[in-house]
Amino acid sequence: MLHVSLQRLQLLPLLQLPPPMKRSELAFTLALVPLDLLSILAAAGAAFALRFHPYFTAMRPVIFNLQLSSFLAVALPVAILWLLVFAFAGLYKTHRVRIAVELSRILLASSTAMALVFAVTFFSRTLFDSRFLALASWLLAIVFVAIARLMVRGLQRSLLRFNIGTHRVAVIGKNPTADALVQEFNQNHRLGFRVVGRHETVTAALEKRLTDMARNDQLDEIILADPEASRKTRLALLSLSDAEHIGFLYTADLLSAAVGRALNHTYAGVPIIEVQKTPLDGWGAIYKRLFDVAGSLMLIILSSPIMLAAAIAIKLDSKGPILFSTVDKNMPSMRIGQHGKPFRYFKFRSMRPGTHAMRYHELADQDTRKGSPLVKIKNDPRVTRVGRFMRMFSIDELPEFFLVLAGRMSLVGPRPHLPEEVEHYRPEHRKVHTIKPGITGMAQISGRAELAFEEEVRLDTYYIEHWSPWLDLYILLKTPLVVLFRKGAS
């Protein structure tokens, strides 16, 4: 396999389903959790039955007095620990892995989980009175879990015959590599690909057609199998896949492709690299949504006295509504969210009513971000006295917690921008719409309003491609410090 450059960034550092994962794949992944739990408990029960089998009692008499129900009651928390180790081992990730890789992970994770049990069993003997039960449970758990997962794989492959879980792909390339891929996908349905388009070159008409197919839910992934494709072509397809939130794969002999994360596959003897949009796929999306719901509820309760005081101050300070939810001519205030979809936006009003359009006309010469899609007015005369204080400490954004609870925003993510600002995005800027917009993010803790737009996009892209729960926690903990020191507020 030829070397592939993955250079894209040079930086520091309810539930929605992002492609390329299919809904059936998520359903099967979710089903693995109770299935693994039942398999581990069944292994414990089988180990208990074996201990009382005449063959084993003849070898070593049973010297403990333990009922099966009591044993299973102790085995349940052990099984839950087992599942946690499975999760850390990547056994609940939604991306496809080879059977050998999955079986090796089961062996390693089961051994790790049982090692923790042994540490207690051998030194304190508080869990089980029999080391045989622990050893037999470990071995049988590996066997039972492996068999159950192989059965799930078999069921998934059977459903592929009915196009359930099939990935619809468009293959682009005029060479034997593209021909081999199309032939392999058409002949080997167990791979889970269905070719819905075969194209030799990329044209503007093809880009429009692929965009229409993606928007009409007729296309899941694009495979570029042309190693001679220009950088412009590769970036155009990558930007298209980002904007329409579909998968992008390319043959492994393409050099210097602009990607952040990648998975390696081999089909028909052809090495292929799959671009991963973000770790916020599958379980990452589930975790982040649960975190958003719990976090926003807690923050709404904690900040309610501040929000009440802000509402009273706004009403006493100037005429107009408490919330900024409409722009001029009573048009609803909108922001662009995940996948480029607009949503109704509101926050505390910090400006005089009916002055929104002034930013594009009377105040255009005061724009500190000329040349970028965003508009920032320094010492904005439209801002009220209370509004200036609220902006200083980001109090005007506290109502966004309700948007997080409603699922339109996230606690952490790229800031949402106006539709008229997004219209001026270049294709590579639309990566920020891969996930939900956030109240705070990498850009906000790195300079807030002082950052150039391109730097803000780079930081947000870094977050999207390197997301982790710990990164979210770091950003949330650092945000109050940045706000209190008022760095970059405007």
The per-residue pLDDT for 69 is 77
Question: Mean pLDDT across the stretch 283-292?
Answer: 86
Report the alpha-carbon distance of residue 306 to residue 313 in Å, rounded.
10
Q: Is 159 helix (H, G, I), strand (E, B) or coil?
A: helix
Q: State residue 310's pLDDT score.
A: 95
| pLDDT 10s digits, 220-272 | 999 998 877 888 888 899 889 888 888 888 875 434 334 555 666 777 777 77
Classify residue 255 as left (phi > 0), alpha (psi -120 to 50) or beta.
beta
Task: For the chain, give the longest Cα–Cα distance.
Answer: 95
pLDDT at 349: 93
Whether the pLDDT of residue 62 is over 50: the answer is yes
Least confident of 113-117, 299-303, 477-481: 113-117
Residue 472 reports pLDDT greater than 50: yes
The full set of domains in the chain, from first to last, is 23-160 (no CATH), 167-275 (3.40.50.2300), 283-484 (no CATH)
Mean pLDDT of all residues in 172-189: 86
Long-range contacts of 133-138 (CB under 8 A, 24+ apart): 133/44, 133/47, 133/48, 133/51, 133/71, 136/46, 136/47, 136/50, 136/51, 137/40, 137/43, 137/44, 137/47, 137/75, 138/110, 138/111, 138/114
Note the Cα 91 to chain centre separation in Å.
Answer: 17
Question: Mean pLDDT across the stretch 92-120?
Answer: 80
- At 133, is the pLDDT very low, low, confident or very high (cuts 50, 70, 90)? confident
Task: Report which secondary-structure segment, H or E, holds 299.
Answer: helix 283-317
pLDDT tier for residue 38 given thresholds of 50, 70 and 90: very high
pLDDT bracket for residue 415 (50, 70, 90): very high
Give per-residue pLDDT as tens, 324-360. 988 767 788 899 999 889 999 999 999 888 777 777 6
Which pLDDT does position 377 carry in this prediction?
73
DSSP three-state, residue 184: helix
Q: Does 323 or 250 have the greater pLDDT score?
A: 323
Burial class (CB within 10 angstroms; exposed 0-12, middle 13-18, buried 19+) of 262? middle
The model's confidence at residue 447, banded by pLDDT at 50, 70 and 90, is: low
* Integer Cα distance of 430 and 241 in angstroms: 10
Query: Mean pLDDT throughout 168-175?
Result: 90
Band of the pLDDT at 130, cuts 50, 70, 90? low
Higher-confidence residue: 428 or 361? 428
Q: Which of 12-21, 53-62, 408-417 has the lowest mean pLDDT?
A: 12-21
Q: What percent of the chain has pLDDT over 90?
A: 30
The C-alpha atoms of residue 427 and residue 205 are separated, in whole angstroms, by 17
Q: Which pLDDT score is estimated for 13? A: 33
Task: Identify the pLDDT of residue 19.
Answer: 46
453 pLDDT more than 80: yes
| Number of C-beta neighbours around residue 455 at 10 A | 14
**pLDDT averaged over the chain?**
81
Q: Is the pLDDT of residue 490 over 60?
A: no
Residue 52 CA to chain centroid, in angstroms? 48
**At residue 88, does pLDDT exceed 90?**
no
Q: How confident is the model at residue 199 (pLDDT cuts 50, 70, 90)?
A: very high
pLDDT surpassing 80 at residue 210:
yes
